Structure 1
Amino acid sequence: MMAQYIEIKTANPDCLLFYRMGDFYELFFEDAEIASRALGITLTKRGKHLGEDIPMCGVPIHAAEDYLLRLIRLGHRVAVCEQTEDPAEAKKRGSKSVVRREVVRLVTPGTLTEDNLLEAKRHNYLVALARVKASGDAAIAWLDISTGDFAVSPVTADTLPAELARLDPGEVVAADALLADDRFAEVLRANRWPVTPLPASRFDSAGAERRLKDHFGVAALDAFGAFSRAEISACGALLDYVELTQVGQIPALRPPRRQGADHAMLIDAATRANLELVRTLSGERRGSLLSVIDRTITGAGGRLLAERLSAPLTDPDAINARLDAVGFFLELGALRSDVRDMLKACPDVSRALSRLSLGRGGPRDLAAIGAGLAAAADLAALLRSDTGLVSVPGEIRALLDTLGRNDGTLAGALREALADELPVNTRDGGFVRKGYRPELDEQRSLRDESRKVIAGLQGKYAEATGVRALKVRHNNVLGFFVEVTAQHGDKLRATPHDETFIHRQTLANAVRFTTTELAELESRIAMAGDRALALELQVFDTLVGEVHAHTEMIAAVAGALASLDVAAALAELAETERYVRPRVDGSRAFRIEKGRHPVVEQALRQAQEGEFVPNDCTLSADGGDGEGAEDAGGGRHIWLVTGPNMAGKSTFLRQNALIAVLAQMGSHVPAASAHIGVIDRLFSRVGAADDLARGRSTFMVEMVETATILNQAGERSLVILDEIGRGTATFDGLSIAWAAVEHLHEVNRCRALFATHFHELTALSDRLDRLANVTMTVREWQGEVVFLHEVGPGAADRSYGIQVAKLAGLPPAVIERAGEVLHALEQGEQTAARRELVDDLPLFSAARPQSAGPAASSPGKLEAALGEVLPDELTPREALDLVYRLKALAGGE
């Protein structure tokens, strides 16, 4: 047995080997030591190898999935090795024959399919990164093995971080040669995603193309899109890796869909983290934008909503098609309510289909598909009956057409075949409905009647022997047997029935016997039970075959159900939260009237801390809708936002970015009105933290993120920047912030919100015609500061930092002393005139030459004397003489 284990382990050296032995998965040698530490289970030993004890630990089969999840989350890969023949067959080959075992699956972070290993409302993407060396083109393909979702997109080393951040994959596979390229390797090393290197041969584009054609049964891939060689390579490598890990089994995959590089708003990893789109900075879903807007009913709908939020569209027509669908359900509230009630009956059809196609499904997965198809038919009938007199938007019509492909035949067949109460596993039997197959009912009756006979035999034997405690029991080793306590064992032997009761086993507290009658009955029961289970398995295989024959239809219906769920959920959100439909077009307008932060607003309501204060924002770079001259910023496309801490600057910045994301994902937005010209890239630098693992200080992280923005933002970008330059010396930081504002205005020419405590920057509005000053308004009352959280025109001249520190609870002595120091500084030479700064820090594109004064023409006598001094060569006496001489020169000048 150990020789077999070593052979299988040698073939899977990078995995922990779950080796099936009876009702346990056992691990040996180093695997056992690793697993025992990771899982907190007991490490024992079994036999010897080369004279040394063999470490061993194990997990029970029924709890294996929980242990698998813990190992996968810790970054391990697991090879599951099952018994592939009946132990009885192995015995026929000889007493020393070992039961045949094979690895049936490699469990990796990106190839999970079990419900309890996955989050219902989150995709688990497996991503492949490929590059064609000759052309330098690169691409990523992504696949959710649990749903069959399959897509591909071109990337560059610059856009790869944003794409991976959007997908948040469970695992990334890449050619080992590509991982040697620092540009790509640095991106992968900098993040938490598990990376699996593969031989470069698995990314060969010619082999990948053949693999894709064979799998989808086509002669050419043109019907799926115009793929580059890099894209084909990535898709083929994914397919190959899935086949490798599933040991020949392939799930029901949809053909790969190509997404262009400009298909979605590009949002880099830092911006996603700062805006907390799908999870907070602490890694939790709760408190994120997704958690606040999610009103979906189904797991598939939740995944689609998260996908749309992570990749807002850039095509105004596609965005408005989604908004039309939301508006349809918003207008028809009664229909929306009925649809959402029906969706509650929809299981996760796509994940059930994937498990069945991988040979990993059970009766409940068949029932899930049947229930989902039945609900889809009911939804289609409801929508047709209730929409006859109203205008139906194109997206809803398309969903209805898809649902119409389901004629109810398969759902009816599954409902007819499957029992109401279903076991988890097929091996447990009992999942075929009574009356569905007469010969199965016959075998079940024989099996069940025989069990009644067993009960009768127990009573008969107890009465004949006078032993009331006599029991007829069963186990897998002895089969059926008669058991009495030890004190009654001799009584059974000494009775006239001595020839009837045959001794089988003596235990400390019990004695076990059998009888000829019991052995014959056991044989009949076993045969009936085995025949019944075999017939049920035949029914299961037939039903699975029917499902496989309708895979394309089932997958399409599952997608339509998810889209219906999202549209109805966003309509529910719009009605309950008072969201409005945004106007989205190809202009460069950005006009928000009475915008609100969706997360903060809901948090305030739940905490009962008052209403959120809405604010306007107009960044119309090309004049937009012609409205905005009366706004705080006068319609200019960069707003310089000043004001004290706790006044709401960061909230204001974030809320406008979130409104843009919501609008372009196809959702209504928290505002009185909104007009947004499509944004192609969103950048945010709000907050700061160091990156010790990469040797970066807080200020260095800030500068790296700022550099990314200034180097990549274009005219259609939206940029929000908060407190640039605060992590270094005052004048260094002011200079950097000043130059950054100028660059945004003159070079990037993007829409931007720039919050700062450097009040000197407000002087730039006199020189930059597309920059406006706005401020967070406050009121002072009897020495206290009242934050109004309102944005108004103008500039702040104070930061009220000492007042905020007082609110934070600094000791009164510290507050008093800080006030004294501030007063002294304000009266001293630290305050420079803003006009001087305007002259000293000119624009990039319009630097004004400064006239040289007399002091610049030649050095003074004091400077000249100092320039001749060599300090290391001075004696103490010479140094003293030098001091007197310099003092005299200073007095003379």
Structure 2
Amino acid sequence: MGRTLRSSSPPQDSGGLDPAGATPMMAQYIEIKSANPDCLLFYRMGDFYELFFGDAEIASRSLGIVLTKRGRHAGTEIPMCGVPVDRADDYLNRLIGLGHRVAVCEQTEDPAEAKKRGPKSVVRREVVRLVTPGTITEDRLLDPASANLLLAVGRRKTAETAFAYGLAAIDISTGRFSLSEVSAGELPGAIARHDPREIVLSEAIHADPGLARLWQETRAAVVPLAQAELEPAAADRRIKEQYGVSTLDGFGSFSRAEIAAAGTALLYIARTQLAARPPLAIPSREEAGATLAIDAATRANLELTRTLSGERTGSLLATIDRTVTANGARLLAEHLAGPLTDLARIGQRQDAVARLVDDSALRQICRDTLAGAPDLPRALSRVGLGRAGPRDLAAIRDGLASAARLGDTLARVPDLPAALAAIGQTLSAVDAGLVEILRASLAEDLPLSRRDGGFVRAGFHPEIDEARLLGQDSRKVVAALQARYAEETGCRTLRIKHNNLLGYFIEVPQSVGEACLKGLQKEFVHRQTMVDAMRFTSVELGELERKISGAADRALALEAQVFDDLAARIVAEAAGITAAAEALASLDVAASHADLAIENDWRRPVVDDSLAFAVGGGRHPVVEAALRRAGEPFIANDCDLSGEGRGRIRLITGPNMGGKSTFLRQNALIVVLAQMGAFVPAREARIGRVDRLFSRVGAADDLARGQSTFMVEMVETAAILNQATRHSLVILDEIGRGTATFDGLSIAWACLEHLHEANACRALFATHFHELTALGDRLARIDNATLKVAEHRGGVVFLHEVVPGIAERSYGLQVARLAGLPATVVTRAGAILKSLEKSQGGRSARARIDDLPLFANLAPPPPEEPPAPAAEDPLGPLLDAIDPDALTPREALEALYRLKRERAEALAG
């Protein structure tokens, strides 16, 4: 369920905390907390982030850490808890996952400087960023395979009571930025497609009664912002400031709703990132109808990216993901969430996959090289935000190096399809100079933070090498100077020593001091005469001492400058790096599809602009994968819904457990796979472009919304009947089963007629209402099909094969027996069923039921007798002796005649 968070606008109060009478440190805390009342404040104190007052109590409960006390304020003890700075990311991740927002407050002053202002002076601290679910950039807080989207919503009026909604989807961790506009009816499906971590919107949109349920039901955190801050002129200005332009004309044409959404997103980013400005791509506009429309209920029913329980494992995404890079995994998820409707783009993606399927050597080279490519977009984003470490620079180095190698590889391959050729050209344009400077400057073993130093390669920067030598090998430097002085003075007992009072000094024995230093008095300055020794210093030794004492700090400062120079060079090349990252991701996805197709024998579908839907030997990708792991085969089935001008409707009857739902879902998933540019689990497939995909398979009570199973079913069915077009594909399962028999039958009947006459779409309609099969004779575009069942020794065997025809029975009692219902219940159900099925002079079902005694009045069933021993099977030994695979046709015929003779003799005996 959605979590509504308060706006990050300036507070009107400080949560009841009064700094009067507080210690200087606590007064500072209260002041900073007052400026961030809607966030948990991580207040830096040495090696810990401390939390106080209500924040401490919340964090203690949320994180399971000890709550302690620190002094008193306003007559009561101050609750306190803390987390170590070096483990802060782990705790931040847990708090963000619970829907909290965190203000990170760092020390911005050296404690030594604070002491200069007085003994009671407090170190200056400032909030350096707000951490929220949609604005995370740290690797340890992010799922590598999933986008971390912040979604902003704006709107414009289109009629007296109607609105159009603009959506701005931004992933700060990668720089992705897209804009789109949808109607109110399309808004839930669009939000479900983006699957954001956080939604920001105006207070007016949040308060709209017609949208209240949407914000309550979303998985994302919802943050309303003050309406006064979201004026249209301000939105336009924020976009221009972000990109340093005076007009937006060069970016394309955006609607007022899209600009409002973009301005809302940029305002929130500025609030949370403070002085940092993330390197966002120029916003791309998603044209209406460019992707296959899939509503939220259909996404859930088909388990595209997560199962109904919310897990990735068991979803279609988990089944088809063969990517080897994090960036590729995110792009694959994006393609799956928004399959294309543009036939040319679908064909280009399929061409790339087909070439990699045919060229196994090229596919393997690509996958091996891609496996060594780090996550370029997220490393680049951290560099742009000033939060990068040395390993991020190395990630960019290694990612660009992999890109260059792949560019060279693709350049040598003739006759590449357009998509692969474009990828190759982009990768070949990588800045080799940037790669070389990063290789030359970065050490082999890199620390996590730039503050740790030691990341500049030895030999790259002479001054850093000198500072390191002094800092790490000062003894060797001093010993070398001592040896030179001893040689120059001829005094072998000369020593260079150090103490806290004099620092470094030259010491010679008193007895030889004058003689040893003769001729060097101009260089040596007398410092101290002892009983048995004389001490001197020199200009050279003084300079050396200053270098040694500041060597570590100087080395860190020089390395920081090198880091800043490298980061600036990377930011300057951001556009090229982003293009290379996108090309790598596209290549990874194409190679993933190819690898999957080879491994599972998937085929290239034909996708055109017709109303065809002909799948030969289709399979359910997730179920097939599960059966394969269990060593069992999957029964493939054909499906033809092709039509001229109007699609066909296949009405499917058959028992529960027969495979109806699997058959329905697999055809919907084949459409999704085909239009995202992948191969499909089928022997062959021709699919006319689908504009909208609807699936209502199964339902459950929604008690939080006060809706029963049947109400949920009707709401979802209404959306289908009101929105499906000729180019849509509709999957419906058991419409009307949630109410009384005749009510449900009537609703299902009317829905079928509406799909046939009004929607004129391609549809699969599974039902237990056998009466509906009569429509196959009355409506031209309805075909009847059923799931084959074999009866064996009083039970049933589900063959999972779809064939033309009508199911004569539902086999509900057999399924109940397989499920383990008590035998008395199954027997009683059989008797009731026979009574209900009787047709005696039009007697009512109630009258027929009255003829049956109540269960309580039935005589107890007789005790079960032990089964009689099975008679000896005369044919058993003969059958056991036959090996069918070793028989010739003539031998097989002779064996059959022999079995018939033996059976005849056994019966005669």
Q: TM-score, normalised by structure 2?
A: 0.81
The counterpart of 1:384, out of the listed 411, 427, 452, is 411
* Preserved contact between residue 153 and residue 259 of structure 1 (Cα < 8 Å): yes
Structure 2 equivalent of residue 265 of structure 1: 292
Structure 2 equivalent of residue 588 of structure 1: 611
- Alignment partner of 1:711: what SS? helix
The counterpart of 2:770, out of the listed 741, 759, 776, is 759
Structure 2 equivalent of residue 607 of structure 1: 630
Structure 2 equivalent of residue 468 of structure 1: none
1:728 shift after superposition: 1.2
Could you tell me how far apart the structure 2 residues matched to 1:598 and 1:155 are?
A: 31
Could you tell me how far apart the structure 1 residues matched to 2:276 and 2:451 are?
A: 20
Structure 1 equivalent of residue 809 of structure 2: 798
The residue type equivalent to 1:265 in the other structure is L
* Cα deviations by residue, 1:454-486 (Å, 9 ceiling, x for unpaired): 999xxxxxxxxxxxxxxxxxxxxxx9xxxxxxx
Structure 1 equivalent of residue 640 of structure 2: 618
Structure 1 equivalent of residue 301 of structure 2: 274
Could you tell me how far apart the structure 2 residues matched to 1:407 and 1:15 are?
A: 42
* Preserved contact between residue 612 and residue 686 of structure 2 (Cα < 8 Å): yes
Q: How does 1:204-243 map to 2 (within 5 A)?
A: 204-243=231-270
Could you tell me how far apart the structure 1 residues matched to 2:807 and 2:232 are?
A: 60
1:792 shift after superposition: 0.6
Structure 2 equivalent of residue 293 of structure 1: 320
1:403 shift after superposition: 1.3
* Preserved contact between residue 23 and residue 61 of structure 1 (Cα < 8 Å): yes
Could you tell me how far apart the structure 1 residues matched to 2:754 and 2:843 are?
A: 23
- Alignment partner of 1:55: what SS? strand
Could you tell me how far apart the structure 1 residues matched to 2:51 and 2:550 are?
A: 35
Alpha carbons of structure 1 residues 692 and 525: separation in structure 2 relative to 1, 3 Å: farther
The counterpart of 1:562, out of the listed 571, 576, 585, is 585
Could you tell me how far apart the structure 1 residues matched to 2:715 and 2:781 are?
A: 26
* Cα deviations by residue, 1:831-871 (Å, 9 ceiling, x for unpaired): 999xxxxxxxxxxxxxxxxxxxxxxxxxxxxxxxxxxxxxx
1:168 shift after superposition: 0.7
Structure 1 equivalent of residue 838 of structure 2: 827
* Cα deviations by residue, 1:310-333 (Å, 9 ceiling, x for unpaired): 000011111111111111111111
Structure 2 equivalent of residue 174 of structure 1: 201
1:47 shift after superposition: 1.4
Could you tell me how far apart the structure 1 residues matched to 2:272 and 2:479 are?
A: 48
Q: How large is the Cα RMSD of the aligned pairs?
A: 2.2
1:214 shift after superposition: 2.3
* Preserved contact between residue 42 and residue 104 of structure 2 (Cα < 8 Å): yes
1:259 shift after superposition: 0.4
* Preserved contact between residue 410 and residue 421 of structure 2 (Cα < 8 Å): no
Alpha carbons of structure 1 residues 435 and 644: separation in structure 2 relative to 1, 3 Å: same
The residue type equivalent to 1:585 in the other structure is D
* Preserved contact between residue 106 and residue 125 of structure 2 (Cα < 8 Å): yes
The counterpart of 1:117, out of the listed 141, 149, 155, is 141
1:622 shift after superposition: 1.6
Could you tell me how far apart the structure 1 residues matched to 2:227 and 2:601 are?
A: 53
Structure 1 equivalent of residue 753 of structure 2: 742
Structure 2 equivalent of residue 192 of structure 1: 219
Alpha carbons of structure 1 residues 455 and 643: separation in structure 2 relative to 1, 3 Å: farther
Could you tell me how far apart the structure 2 residues matched to 1:212 and 1:338 are?
A: 42
1:529 lines up with 2:552 in the alignment: yes
* Preserved contact between residue 589 and residue 623 of structure 1 (Cα < 8 Å): no
Alpha carbons of structure 1 residues 134 and 676: separation in structure 2 relative to 1, 3 Å: closer
Structure 1 equivalent of residue 344 of structure 2: 317
Q: How does 1:124-135 map to 2 (within 5 A)?
A: 124-133=148-157
Which has the larger displacement, 294-303 or 746-755?
746-755
* Cα deviations by residue, 1:202-260 (Å, 9 ceiling, x for unpaired): 43222222221222233322232210111111112212211110012121111000002
Could you tell me how far apart the structure 2 residues matched to 1:606 and 1:194 are?
A: 38
The counterpart of 2:417, out of the listed 393, 415, 432, is 393
Alpha carbons of structure 1 residues 817 and 525: separation in structure 2 relative to 1, 3 Å: farther
1:434 lines up with 2:458 in the alignment: yes
- Alignment partner of 1:42: what SS? coil
Structure 1 equivalent of residue 52 of structure 2: 28
* Cα deviations by residue, 1:547-580 (Å, 9 ceiling, x for unpaired): 1110111111111110111111111111111111
Could you tell me how far apart the structure 2 residues matched to 1:823 and 1:451 are?
A: 102
1:598 lines up with 2:607 in the alignment: no
The residue type equivalent to 2:378 in the other structure is R
1:450 shift after superposition: 3.2
1:782 shift after superposition: 2.1
The residue type equivalent to 1:272 in the other structure is R
Could you tell me how far apart the structure 2 residues matched to 1:399 and 1:830 are?
A: 77
* Cα deviations by residue, 1:423-452 (Å, 9 ceiling, x for unpaired): 000111110000011111111111112377
- Alignment partner of 2:550: what SS? helix
- Alignment partner of 2:473: what SS? helix
The residue type equivalent to 1:318 in the other structure is R
Structure 1 equivalent of residue 63 of structure 2: 39
Q: How does 1:329-348 map to 2 (within 5 A)?
A: 329-348=356-375
The counterpart of 1:818, out of the listed 818, 822, 829, is 829
Could you tell me how far apart the structure 1 residues matched to 2:479 and 2:40 are?
A: 46
The residue type equivalent to 2:94 in the other structure is R
The counterpart of 2:697, out of the listed 671, 675, 686, is 686
- Alignment partner of 2:166: what SS? strand
Alpha carbons of structure 1 residues 569 and 832: separation in structure 2 relative to 1, 3 Å: farther
Could you tell me how far apart the structure 2 residues matched to 1:228 and 1:548 are?
A: 30
The counterpart of 1:643, out of the listed 654, 667, 681, is 654
- Alignment partner of 1:137: what SS? strand
- Alignment partner of 2:78: what SS? strand
Q: How does 1:360-379 map to 2 (within 5 A)?
A: 360-379=387-406
Give the number of equivalent residue pairs.
759
* Preserved contact between residue 157 and residue 183 of structure 1 (Cα < 8 Å): no
Structure 1 equivalent of residue 230 of structure 2: 203
* Preserved contact between residue 203 and residue 227 of structure 2 (Cα < 8 Å): yes
Could you tell me how far apart the structure 2 residues matched to 1:215 and 1:55 are?
A: 41
* Preserved contact between residue 301 and residue 565 of structure 1 (Cα < 8 Å): yes
* Preserved contact between residue 407 and residue 426 of structure 2 (Cα < 8 Å): no
Structure 1 equivalent of residue 170 of structure 2: 143
The residue type equivalent to 2:334 in the other structure is E
* Preserved contact between residue 15 and residue 77 of structure 1 (Cα < 8 Å): yes
- Alignment partner of 2:701: what SS? coil
Alpha carbons of structure 1 residues 621 and 220: separation in structure 2 relative to 1, 3 Å: farther
- Alignment partner of 1:760: what SS? helix
Could you tell me how far apart the structure 2 residues matched to 1:784 and 1:595 are?
A: 28
* Preserved contact between residue 349 and residue 677 of structure 2 (Cα < 8 Å): yes
Could you tell me how far apart the structure 1 residues matched to 2:589 and 2:787 are?
A: 36
* Cα deviations by residue, 1:532-553 (Å, 9 ceiling, x for unpaired): 1111111111111111110111
Q: TM-score, normalised by structure 1?
A: 0.83
- Alignment partner of 2:312: what SS? coil
Structure 2 equivalent of residue 551 of structure 1: 574
* Cα deviations by residue, 1:864-885 (Å, 9 ceiling, x for unpaired): xxxxxxxxxxxxxxxxxxxxxx
Alpha carbons of structure 1 residues 23 and 774: separation in structure 2 relative to 1, 3 Å: same
1:653 lines up with 2:676 in the alignment: no
* Preserved contact between residue 621 and residue 750 of structure 1 (Cα < 8 Å): no
* Preserved contact between residue 451 and residue 525 of structure 1 (Cα < 8 Å): no
Unaligned runs of 5+ in 1: 457-478, 480-498, 501-518, 625-635, 834-893
Could you tell me how far apart the structure 1 residues matched to 2:215 and 2:752 are?
A: 32
1:289 shift after superposition: 0.5
- Alignment partner of 1:177: what SS? helix
1:828 shift after superposition: 4.1
- Alignment partner of 1:132: what SS? strand
- Alignment partner of 2:177: what SS? strand
* Preserved contact between residue 450 and residue 521 of structure 1 (Cα < 8 Å): no
Unaligned runs of 5+ in 2: 1-24, 481-502, 504-529, 532-541, 845-909
* Preserved contact between residue 130 and residue 203 of structure 1 (Cα < 8 Å): no
Q: How does 1:469-480 map to 2 (within 5 A)?
A: none
- Alignment partner of 1:690: what SS? coil
Structure 2 equivalent of residue 88 of structure 1: 112
